Amino acid sequence: MPVESALVALIPEAERVVGGFRARFDPSAAAGVPPHITIIYPFKLPSELSIGDIQKLSEMFAGTPSFRVRFTRTGTFPAVLYLAPEPAGPFLQLTNNVSRLFPETPPYCGKFADIVPHLTVAHSGDAQELARIAEDFRRQTASCLSIDADVNEVVLMDNESGRWQVRYRFPLEA
């Protein structure tokens, strides 16, 4: 597995709803990544991160207000079932802020013109299987798909040890 890092907002409140599906259908869960919204992936390699980089991130995040988010609906991309955060704007702002500080690390290597904040529930390369997973998820969560979370930090994770781990925590402005 190549060594990578990512800046993410962890959403532990989602585990009770998405944990079982992520365990079965999202390989990142098995690799140690908890429920999250990606801010920047991939970010700098751990070996390339400097104290100055960490300081810049720390200052930028400290000047960004924390916020509350809710998840009540699903969405799909090709091969992905996800929960949509409401509001999505604060996540986009975090992504844009990091992109301005580190233009050499565009989100998803610049593959997508539009970034859509999302919390991945499942992956499948088979469209029919993804539709079945989505229907099963909707059926099982019909009475409990309302997740509220406070986003008060962004974390830097990497898989240098072979599993994804939090390396740095960057508190947002209270």
Sign of CA dihedral 8, 82, 104, 157: positive
Reading across the β-sheet that carries 119-123, which strands appear in turn? Answer: 119-123, 80-86, 67-77, 147-151
**Token pair for residue 173?**
């402005």
- Residue 165 confidence class, pLDDT cut points 50, 70, 90: very high
CA distance from start to end of the chain: 37
In 18-164, the DSSP E strands lie at 36-40, 67-77, 80-86, 119-123, 147-151, 153-158
User: What would the mean pLDDT of 125-135 be, rounded to a whole number?
Assistant: 97
Instruction: Map out the domains of the chain as residue ranges.
Output: 5-171
User: What would the mean pLDDT of 137-162 be, rounded to a whole number?
Assistant: 96
pLDDT given for residue 113 in this prediction: 86
**Token pair for residue 109?**
């290597």
Strand partners, 7: 40, 156
Report the topology of domain 5-171. Answer: Cyclic Phosphodiesterase; Chain: A, (3.90.1140)
Map residue 143 onto helix, strand or coil: coil
Residue with tokens 């999302």: 118
Q: Is the pLDDT of residue 1 over 90?
A: no
Q: Cα-flanking dihedrals φ and ψ of residue 102, to 5°? A: -130, 70
- Of all residues in the chain, the percent with pLDDT exceeding 70 is 100
> For 52-73, how does the pLDDT look when each residue is reduced to its tens digit (9 = 90+)?
999 999 999 999 999 999 999 9
> For 83-125, how does the pLDDT look when each residue is reduced to its tens digit (9 = 90+)?
999 999 999 999 999 999 999 999 999 999 899 999 999 999 9
User: Is the CB of residue 148 less than 8 Å from the CB of residue 69?
Assistant: yes
pLDDT given for residue 13 in this prediction: 98
What is the average pLDDT score of the chain?
97
Give the number of other CB atoms < 10 A from CB of residue 56: 14
Q: Is 56 left (phi over 0), alpha (psi -120 to 50) or beta?
A: alpha
Residue with tokens 């702002």: 93
